[in-house]
Amino acid sequence: MPWLSYAQNGGKTSASDARSLPSPKGFTSTSGRTTPSTARITKHFYDEGWTGINVEPAPRLFEVIAGQRTRDINLSVGCSNSDTSLTLYVGRGSASGMSTMKADEVAIHRTKGYEFDAVDVPVTTRARIEF
């Protein structure tokens, strides 16, 4: 059966290599950026029965991921160097992939006409998330 990759940026090669692992099922992790099936290498593995941790601070995207990845651990947090809360600038429309916690990046994107919503989100360290 042909293998369908949902990956971007060369992820198909990495995923293809991972298919040779001795265990037929494994564990994945992913954080932020997009929907659970668009540009997500973990979609292939989820369909194969793998489980994982998904970290998504954007509220609307978190709802989508939690609804579609019901076997996974889904965390509605961001990652930083401490446990606190930060402002997440969630891109609207075509800027959805530009969501960031960096106000200076948002300022540059806004000069080009992109729009963002500011949302306070909890953040924690990657070390505190059990990968």
pLDDT band at 41; cut points 50, 70, 90:
confident
Q: What is the spatial distance between Cα 108 and Cα 1, in angstroms, rounded to a whole number?
A: 45
Q: Is the pTM for the entire model greater than 0.75?
A: no
- Rg of the chain's alpha carbons, rounded to an integer? 16
Burial class (CB within 10 angstroms; exposed 0-12, middle 13-18, buried 19+) of 24: exposed
Q: Which amino acid is at 1?
A: M
Angle 50-45-127 from CA coordinates, rounded to 5°: 65
Q: Is the pLDDT of residue 117 over 90?
A: yes
Q: Is the pLDDT of residue 78 over 70?
A: yes
Q: Which tens digit of pLDDT belongs to each residue from 82-92?
A: 999 999 999 99
